[in-house]
A and B are shown apart, each in its own frame.
Chain A
Amino acid sequence: MTWLDLLLRNLWRRPGRSGFTLIGVALAVGSFLTLVGLSRGMDAAAQDSLDERGVDLVVVRRDIMEFFASVLPEELEADILRLPGVAEVSAELATLTPMGEDAHAIVAGWRPDSFEWRSVKLVRGSMPERGQHGVVLGDALAGALHADIGSVVAFSFTPFRVTGIAAFTSALNRGIAVLCLDELQALLARPNQVTMFNVRLAQPADAAALASARTEIAALRPDLSVTTTDAVMRGNKAVQVLAAASGAIALVALTMAALSVLNTLAMAVEERTRDIGILAAIGWSRARILALILSEGLLLAGLGGLLGAGLGWLGNHTLNLLVVPGGGLSARATVTLMLLALAASLALGACGALWPAWRAARLDPASALRR
């Protein structure tokens, strides 16, 4: 009989109670992974999307509640372009809009002469001509809308003909719809306004040049936020609120799981007082008895954590499928995050088991045997 056999045998004495505790831990870890994965995934999705389009710096309005609320004058593009180190600037107007019955999409307006427009690789079709009311769809969005070249899709009740299907690889871009900037400005009644400027630098690998460009751009207007692609979502208040709420809910879930482990083991110690007395009577030290109960807690939490990692992956996957075509939210439970969740579940198992284990170790053998 190994130590693990002994632990499993003890937990199996009350299969229902152990099972429900394990499920509780799994749900807590799964919730943690889904919520934290969602908030981290949004960061990563934005970065992947911008990197794929060759963007080095993003200029948006500072202190905005959410990304799409950023409003900047289009003429600022020329000022940015004049700055040293800046190679190209692409003005972008973006909005998140319902499309079809179940889908949402980011609709982006780019100027046809911009580097982003030029960087679009197409699976088939072509980029739309100005005034043509044409649109290029990411392949995932096209799939979700059952649209292909020549199909007509509607934004804000206005029909657009699909002229091309883009071959993007990042999740956000696969769910994007691209049309000419001036047509989107007209559609949204936002003439000469853009959401952001995407900047390509002459020497993006040069950290000093990058820092200098950021400073120069930020100095143009006091209300500008200039970030690298990895930090583009961090200034977004809505994302910050989401991250904080996710973190708080995850923390509550993990605390509940720790209490559940504590409750299970406290009851087990109470029920097994005599058994623990027997262990003490046959020479088990307090440390070994403590280790036994702690190990039971760690095993429960560890198994729950593994199950929760699976649930977290499933939760993220489902969230991606449900909300934006092509997994646009990019809620992702990375291996690091899963390991972190597993470590957290083991830590909460240890926390939950500590008091029952201490109680068990302190039991007086003679009185325990009288129970």
Chain B
Amino acid sequence: MPHPHTDCPPLVRLEQVGRSFDAGRIVALQAVDLAIDPGDLVAVHGPSGSGKSTLFNLMAGLDRPSTGTVVFDGRPMPTPAEWARLRHGRIGLVFQDFNLLPTLTAVENIELAMFGGVRGTAERRRHALDRLAELGMAQCADRLPQLLSGGERRRVSVARALANHPELLLADEPTANLDSATGAMVAELLLALHRSHAMALVIVTHDQGLIARCPRRVRLLDGRATEHAAAVALAIA
């Protein structure tokens, strides 16, 4: 389902993508077509087990499809090394489980994402502190993840995802495991970042409030994707 949001080619395009496990006995995704354009804001939703996380992994290059093709910026089926480079520079990931390294402080977790870039040690630190400050987390820079609240951890993971100024931010259940106020704050934060950083944002979520604020909504059910225009979806809601 191509979505000609801009004149640019899609940032990520999934063509008839399927993913199965256990020698084909478990089918997670079937024949999914999806295109994410630069600057898009897309919600991916659906019940548990519908294939949302599998779709997240495929768009991030963390997993490879069993069938079909994933194209990033016109390059079909990047190699694992190419995907690593893309995640290092052009794709930022926000995980449901935070996935912060427990032995590193908040600022060091962000610096970790910048290793291998052109920045030196001091520059990495300064840039990481800037990202934390941008998310209102400067005071937590030297705290270990276990000393942070769920909301704070989420913001640190968002700051890490933004470390290298990605063109595409993929967020997996960013409001899950948070109380409603913190969840709402994180949702606001992501949407604000989407606007201020002019990047494509794909949010995998159950959060109806967050889904309602996304102009593009992709519903997954039993591994199949259907896209609803915002107006239609709102009417259904």
Contact = CB atoms under 8 A, between A and B. Distances in A.
B108 A1 contact: yes
B103 A10 contact: yes
A282 B93 contact: yes
A279 B62 CA distance: 11
A284 B116 contact: yes
B95 interface: yes
Contacts of B99: 274, 278, 281, 369
A317 interface: no
Which bucket holds chain B's interface residue count?
20 to 34
Interface in A321-371: 364-366, 369
Contacts of A2: 121
A280 B86 CA distance: 11
B87 interface: yes
A283 B87 contact: yes
B57 interface: yes
Interface string A268-280: 0000001100111
A235 B108 CA distance: 61
Interface string B147-173: 000000000000010001000000000
Nearest to A292: B115
A13 interface: yes
A289 to B, nearest CB: 9
A218 B125 CA distance: 74
Nearest to B160: A282
Interface string B72-95: 000000001100111111010101
Given A286-B80, A286-B84, A281 B112 contact: no
Given A1-B121, A366-B62, A284 B115 contact: yes
Contacts of B89: 283
Contacts of B88: 282-285
B63 A366 contact: yes
A203 B80 CA distance: 72
B104 interface: yes
Given A1-B121, A2-B121, A366-B57, A283 B85 contact: yes
A9 interface: yes
A211 to B, nearest CB: 60
A281 B87 contact: yes
A274 B102 CA distance: 11
Contact of A286 (B81, B87, B93): B81
Contacts of B86: 283
A284 B113 CA distance: 8
B29 interface: no
B194 interface: no
Interface in B81-133: 81, 84-89, 91, 93, 95, 99-101, 103-104, 108, 111-113, 115-116, 121, 124-125
Nearest to B57: A366
A359 to B, nearest CB: 15
Contact of A13 (B84, B100, B103, B124): B103
Contacts of A286: 80-81, 84
Nearest to A365: B62
A283 B81 CA distance: 9
A281 B116 contact: no
A65 to B, nearest CB: 58
B60 interface: yes
A281 B60 contact: yes
B52 to A, nearest CB: 14
A283 B57 contact: no
Interface string B182-196: 000000000000000
Given A282-B112, A284-B88, A1 B104 contact: yes
Interface in A1-28: 1-3, 5-6, 9-10, 12-13
B175 to A, nearest CB: 20
A288 interface: yes
Given A366-B62, A366-B63, A280 B84 contact: yes
B173 to A, nearest CB: 14
A1 B101 contact: no
Contacts of A10: 103
Contacts of B104: 1, 6, 9
A286 B79 CA distance: 12
Contacts of A5: 108
Contacts of B100: 278
B230 to A, nearest CB: 30
Nearest to A287: B81
B99 to A, nearest CB: 5
A12 B103 CA distance: 9
Per CB-CB distance, the 9 closest pairs between chain A and chain B, nearest first, are: A283-B88, A283-B87, A366-B63, A366-B62, A282-B113, A365-B62, A285-B84, A1-B108, A278-B99
Given A281-B95, A283-B116, A285-B88, 8 more contacts: A6-B112, A6-B115, A13-B103, A281-B99, A282-B87, A283-B91, A283-B113, A285-B81
8 contacts: A9-B104, A13-B103, A278-B100, A281-B93, A282-B87, A282-B112, A283-B86, A366-B62
